[in-house]
A = this chain, B = another copy of it.
Amino acid sequence: MGVKSTNITAVQHRVPKEARWRANRHMGGVLWFTGLSGAGKSTLAFELEHLLFDKGYQAYVLDGDNVRHGLCSDLGFSPHDRSENIRRIGETASLFAEAGFIVLSAFISPYREDRLVARTAAGENFNEIYLSADVSDCEKRDPKGLYQKARRGEIPEFTGISAPYEAPIDPELVIDTGKLEVQESLEILLRYIEQRFAMPE
């Protein structure tokens, strides 16, 4: 997307992110969770945030439910608004990563193109984590009763029921949250992060 405003110049942040990495003793970047409603995105992100914090990491969850009340409170669920929602979150995640954080973003983000926009914004250290629980698994859990509502036609364009979910083609990590327990998924994620965000020697 082009930049609409003129008379602006790119300014370097004075503290390079590598200096922040050294101070934090880990690299920054984005873990972009994607998957159906009920696949465990928020659950895993929040559990992981806690675990990482206890281990001394700088980690922060960007979560659809919270961002929707603030940064994206002007957006609804039209195709344009969904894309713009993901675009803004991708840009915010990129700022957090630049500030040295491991960002855990927990959004359905059903469209490949939107996730590619987020990946491009982050620049590097973007990790697409596909939580691959399928509709039948997620519908069995239905923690917020949303699938029931969607089946009754009370939620238009519900991902997996009346709107498409485009599974990642080449994600950095796949976790079958339809089969694994939360604790098992967390262990996989923790090992992944400890390797992926370790400071280069």
Interface residue ranges, A against B (CB under 8 Å): 1-5, 7-11, 13-15, 19-20, 23, 42, 46-47, 49-50, 53, 56, 58, 60-66, 68-77, 81, 84, 88, 91-92, 94-96, 99-101, 121, 144, 146, 149, 155
Contact = CB atoms under 8 A, between A and B. Distances in A.
A139 B158 CA distance: 55
A10 B64 CA distance: 9
A190 to B, nearest CB: 15
Given A14-B49, A88-B88, A62 B5 contact: no
A169 to B, nearest CB: 25
A95 B71 contact: yes
Contacts of A62: 95
Contact of A69 (B8, B13, B47, B60): B8
Nearest to A56: B23
B53 A19 contact: yes
A17 to B, nearest CB: 11
Contacts of A75: 4-5
Given A49-B14, A53-B15, A62-B95, A3 B69 contact: yes
Contacts of A53: 15, 19-20, 23
A11 B8 CA distance: 37
A7 B50 contact: no
B73 A14 contact: no
Contacts of A42: 11
A155 to B, nearest CB: 6
A50 to B, nearest CB: 5
In the A-B complex, list the 7 residue pairs whose CB atoms are closest, starting with the nearest.
A70-B91, A71-B91, A14-B46, A60-B99, A4-B76, A11-B65, A14-B50
